[in-house]
Chains A and B, each alone.
Chain A
Amino acid sequence: MIKRKKRIYLISLFFITIATSIYLILWALRDNIVFFYSPSEIQQKISLKEIDEMSKLRLGGMVKESSIEQFNDGSINFIITDFNKEMVVFYKGIIPDLFKDQQGVIAEGSINNKGMFIANSILAKHDENYMPPEVQDTLKKDYGDK
C-alpha cells in the first residue's frame, strides 16, 4: 500500500513538472504561435516599431462591408477590420470562394510605407456555425442583415 502511494506521488510529480515546463515554453512562445494579428495589434506594433516593411506577417479580421474594389488587371483592394481599427489590403492573385463581404479573412504579406498591407496570399476563415441555407434566410429575415 505504501509502495503504491509512493508511486502515485512520483507519477503526479513527474507529470506536473513536465506539464509546467511545457506551459512555460508555450507562454514564452505565445507571440509566435498566434496565426495572425488583428489590425489593432499591427498598428500598435507599427507605432512601437516592432515591425517594418521587411517583416512578413499575417493580418486577420473581417472584410469590411462593401469595401472590396476590383481592378481591371485582376488585383483587388479591400479593408480588413476588427471593428476597432482597420487596414487597407492590396492583393493580386487567386481568391478563395469564401472570400466575401463580412467574412473572416487572413492576408499574408507585409506593410508598405503608406501603412497599406500588401498581401501575397489570401485565406478565407469561416466561423463555427453550420446551418442549411433556408435557416440562414429566415435568420436574416427575423434579425435583419447584420
Chain B
Amino acid sequence: MINKGNELKLQLVNPGILERYIKTLSPWFCGAFISSLIIGLWFAIFNSPPDYLQGETVRIMYIHVPSAWMALFIYSSMAVASLIGLIYGHLVAFIYTKSVAPIGAVFTLICLVTGSLWGKPMWGTWWVWDARLTSMFILLFIYLSFIIVSKSFNDPVKGDKISSIFALIGFINIPIIKFSVDIWTTLHQPATISKLDTPSIHIDMLIPLLIMFTSFVFLFLYIFSIRFFSELNLRRYVTYTLSSK
C-alpha cells in the first residue's frame, strides 16, 4: 500500500539507505564546491568593481556575507531537524543536528573574524557591542553549547532529546539576529539583499556574492556528508556497546 512518495520518504529516514545516497553524492558536492569556489573567487577578486564608498575593502563582503547566511541557515535547519526529531523520533534528524553544529560554529566564527577585519578600516573599530554584532556573538556560543550538551550524555536517547530542546530554545536568537538592525539602532547597516525591496547592491557585485554563497553551500554539504558518516558510525558503536553490556 506504500506509494512512491512515501517510499522515498521512508528511505530518507532510514540511516543506512541515506548513507548510501550521501556516499554517491559526496564527491559531486566536493567537485561543485571547488569549481564554484574558483569561479567565485575569480569574480570576487579580479572581475568585480570596487565600491564607490569603501573601495577595494568591499571584497571582504564575498566571504563575510555568505558565511553569515550559512551560519543562520545551518542553525535554522538544525532547529527544524530537532523539531522533527522530537515529534517523530527519526534517528537521522538527531544525527543531522549533531553533525552540522560544528560546521555552523565555524561559519559563525568566519563571519565574526572577517566582519572584524572589515570593521577596522571602514567603521574605525574592530568590535562594538551593538545589537547585530552581539547577537551574532551569542550565536557562536549557542553553537558551542549545543556541541557540549550533545556530547555530555552517556545515554544517546536522552542526549538527543535534551540537545534538541536546547537547539529549539537557541532558535529564538535567529530572528533577533536578522531583525536586530531594524529594531534597534546599530553600527551595522541594515540588510542589503534579503528585504522586501529590490536588493540595493549592483548586479556586478551580486553575481560574485551569489556564486560564493553557492560554493559555501556545497562546502557545507561536503563536510556534512563526512560528518554524517562519522556520527552514524559513532552511534552504531555506542548502540552496539550498550546492547552488548
Contact = CB atoms under 8 A, between A and B. Distances in A.
Interface in B162-207: 165, 168-169, 172, 176, 184-187, 189-192, 200-202, 204-205
Interface in A108-139: 121-136
Nearest to B209: A130
B187 A11 contact: no
A13 interface: no
A136 B204 CA distance: 14
Interface string A5-18: 00110010011001
Q: How large is the interface on B (under 10, 10 to 19, 20 to 34, 35 or more residues)?
A: 35 or more
Contacts of A103: 53
B51 A132 contact: yes
Given A11-B87, A34-B184, A97 B122 contact: yes
Given A7-B86, A8-B87, A126-B122, A36 B185 contact: yes
B123 interface: yes
Given A96-B124, A97-B122, A132 B187 contact: no
A123 B128 contact: yes
A123 B116 CA distance: 14
A112 B66 CA distance: 44
A63 interface: no
A44 to B, nearest CB: 15
A106 interface: yes
B191 A98 contact: no
Interface in B135-169: 165, 168-169
A97 B123 CA distance: 8
A36 B128 CA distance: 12
Interface string B34-52: 0000000000000001111
Contacts of A124: 122-124
Contacts of B165: 14
Contacts of A146: none
B121 interface: yes
A106 B49 CA distance: 28
A91 B52 CA distance: 27
Contacts of B200: 128-130
A24 interface: no
A128 B189 CA distance: 6
B131 A130 contact: no
Interface in A21-38: 22, 26, 30, 33-38
A130 B192 contact: yes
B87 A130 contact: no
B189 A60 contact: no
A136 B88 CA distance: 54
A141 interface: no
B124 A133 contact: no
6 contacts: A60-B185, A94-B124, A124-B122, A124-B123, A129-B200, A132-B51
Interface of A: 4, 7-8, 11, 14-15, 18-19, 22, 26, 30, 33-38, 60, 94-99, 103, 106, 121-136
